Amino acid sequence: MFRSAEIGHRLTKQAYRDAVPGLRAALLDAQVSLFEQRKTPVVVLISGQDGAGKGETINVLYEWMDPRFISTLAFSEPSDEERERPPMWRYWRSLPPKGRVGIFAGSWYSDPIRERIQGEISVKELDARAEQINRFEQMLVAEGALVLKFWFHLSKDGQKQRLKALSADPRTAWRVTPWNWERLKTYDQLQEVAGHLLRLTNTAAAPWVVVEGTDDRYLSLTVGKVLLTAISQKLAQTAPPRPPVAPMVRVDLDGRNVLSEMDLSLALADKPYKDQLARWQGRLSELLRDPRFKHRALVCAFEGVDAAGKGGAIRRIAAAMDARQYQVTPVAAPTDEEKAQPHLWRFWRHLPRHGQVAIFDRTWYGRVLVERVEGFCSEADWLRAYGEINDFEHEMIDGGVIVVKFWLQISQEEQLKRFKAREQVAFKRFKITQEDWRNREKWVEYQQAICDMVERTSTGESPWTLVEANDKNFARVKILRTLCHRLEAALQGKAPSATTGADKADKKPAKQEKIGRSASVQKPS
């Protein structure tokens, strides 16, 4: 990866002076077009050896381009706030919106390289991190981003000479610290680890550009021209390239699926409901005050059929918590700010710190449900979203977040009854809109999308709990009980016990009660 960056690339002062004016003018024109179109964010990673000119190059780019449309993010050791969230959180929240350029000094490559050099992770773990990075960058590109990755290279002697030159100049001596000299001792290790990681992450979607850092003029001009060429080509694209996707295939020969097999007649009378509600709310309160939870976080994701009772269930959970400990995030159509980012960005930004709870009323599953059914995104977008969602939840769990997902299901008959009731009650009329009635007409399509969602995203670490919600009493108790069981298991270091249906406690007939009325779920065709 580094051979071509050790041959002594240099530019004369005159050649540099002749090239810069035209390059600056072209970069400004491209930047203005980028901002006006607002279709593409540009993510620029500046990485490489100490003393290779990373800071100088960033300063030059600011001089050549309009600084109003550029943001520079410098990442070093994570802060306390960042340590209490998944590692990728700080990078997600710093992504530039469409139409702007984000320059990352230090990036998602810095930590795995440092950890491998220090012996904190194995080669196998480094390879796993590389695969995670590839999936992240492929997602950015699929969302329309231009990802440019620069590695500034110096030979070992070149780095030593560079540090000496910087130290000897009073204007730059402050930039060289004992830490930089100490890092020089790990040069060979850095070459080995960085070369290995760059090879694994040099993808078609986001290739590496290795540039020799011996000569500042050569370095700056090379980065500027690569940036100009890449932006110009991106702006010239009439339509984003779409990778081939396999069609969705589903076979239910007997007409049965995870929704049709739910027993929606399950119910709980008022007296046992009140007793169990108090019991499980008390248990939830105890678990959230457990000292072990101070080093964890909880994300509750609520999805369900319209009028299935998500809001009521959330209120029963919130009643068991200190108001300072949780945040409820209702999810509606994305704002203009959110549309300018990858679809998962607006959820990453709301992830809780340790000891905190985030409750999502509607979630990141909108892309494979409403956006799929209503045609708000392409088939390629919602098909790749299953993998991106699984990655998102896996990263949360790796970061210490306990993820609990609920799908609330009611029958068409029960939904119609609740819709009509909402129209009659003044303080509930805001809950029913024409969109709800229109969505009801696509019941079969939504049920099909739900089955696909459960099948593709109910993982061992983050399973779906399907809640029979025709009876609100039963649904609320089941949700609280499941939440307590999942919290207890996580705090004890155990894997989730739920499958695609209810947790083990829900399979005990003695815990359930049926009432006279029954209901059914229409089977998808």
Q: Are 432 and 373 in contact (CB under 8 A)?
A: no
Q: Is the pLDDT of residue 512 over 50?
A: no
Backbone angles phi, psi at 6, to 5 degrees: -130, 25
- CA dihedral sign, ordered 477, 483, 486, 490: negative
pLDDT confidence of residue 69: 92
Q: How far is CA 208 from CA 135, 325, 332, in A?
A: 15, 43, 38
Domains of the chain: 3-236 (3.40.50.300), 266-514 (3.40.50.300)
Q: Which two tokens stand for residue 30?
A: 């491209």
pLDDT confidence of residue 121: 95
Q: Which two tokens stand for residue 409?
A: 């299901």
Mean pLDDT over residues 24-33, rounded? 96
CA-nearest of 11, 473, 488 to 223 is 11
DSSP 301: E
d(CA 26, CA 35): 14
Q: Is the pLDDT of residue 127 over 90?
A: yes
Q: Kindly indicate the confidence band of residue 176, based on its pLDDT and cuts at 50, 70 and 90.
A: confident
pLDDT confidence of residue 451: 95
Q: Are 347 and 364 in contact (CB under 8 A)?
A: yes
Exposure string for 210-248, b = 16+ CB within 10 A, e = fewer = bbbbbbebbbbbbbbeebbebbeebeeeeeeeeeeeeee
pLDDT confidence of residue 160: 82
Mean pLDDT over residues 64-92, rounded? 93
- Higher-scoring residue by pLDDT: 509, 122: 122
Residue-wise pLDDT tens digits, 247-276 = 777 777 788 899 999 999 999 999 999 999
Residue-wise pLDDT tens digits, 341-386 = 999 999 999 999 999 999 999 999 999 999 999 999 999 999 999 9
d(CA 302, CA 316): 13
CA-nearest of 102, 98, 50 to 73 is 102
Percent of the chain with pLDDT over 90: 73
Q: Is the pLDDT of residue 472 over 60?
A: yes
pLDDT confidence of residue 457: 97
Token pair 């078609």 is at which residue? 204
CA-nearest of 75, 68, 72 to 99 is 68
pLDDT confidence of residue 187: 84
Q: Kindly indicate the confidence band of residue 430, based on its pLDDT and cuts at 50, 70 and 90.
A: low
Q: Which two tokens stand for residue 276?
A: 């169990």
Token pair 């229409």 is at which residue? 522
Which segments of 97-207 are extended strands (E)?
101-105, 146-153
Q: Which two tokens stand for residue 261?
A: 């097999």
pLDDT confidence of residue 165: 83
Residue-wise pLDDT tens digits, 486-498 = 999 999 988 776 4
In 3-state terms, the chain is what percent helix, strand and coil (to 5)?
50, 15, 35
Query: From the CB of residue 379, how many other CB atoms can be counted at a distance below 10 Å?
Result: 13
pLDDT confidence of residue 240: 67
In which order are the strands placed within the sheet that holds 297-304? 326-330, 357-361, 297-304, 401-409, 464-468
Q: Are 515 and 471 in contact (CB under 8 A)?
A: yes
Q: Is the pLDDT of residue 444 over 60?
A: yes
What is the secondary structure of 454-481 as a DSSP string?
HHHH--SSS-EEEEE-SSHHHHHHHHHH
Exposure string for 56-66, b = 16+ CB within 10 A, e = fewer = bbbebbeebbe
Q: Kindly indicate the confidence band of residue 523, based on its pLDDT and cuts at 50, 70 and 90.
A: very low
Backbone angles phi, psi at 333, to 5 degrees: -60, 145
**CA 55 remoteness from chain centre:** 29
| Secondary element (H or E) of residue 361 | strand 357-361
d(CA 245, CA 247): 6
**pTM attached to this predicted model:** 0.88
d(CA 343, CA 348): 10
Torsional class of 133: left (φ above 0), alpha (ψ -120 to 50), beta (otherwise): alpha
Three-class DSSP category at 245: coil
Token pair 């050569």 is at which residue? 218
- CA dihedral sign, ordered 168, 173, 176, 181: positive
Backbone angles phi, psi at 85, to 5 degrees: -135, 165
d(CA 167, CA 175): 8
Q: Are 154 and 162 in contact (CB under 8 A)?
A: yes
pLDDT confidence of residue 438: 76
Q: Are 484 and 402 in contact (CB under 8 A)?
A: no
pLDDT confidence of residue 511: 43
DSSP 201: T
CA-nearest of 348, 59, 88 to 220 is 59
pLDDT confidence of residue 186: 79
Q: Is the pLDDT of residue 416 over 60?
A: yes
Q: Is the pLDDT of residue 34 over 80?
A: yes
d(CA 494, CA 392): 21
pLDDT confidence of residue 255: 81
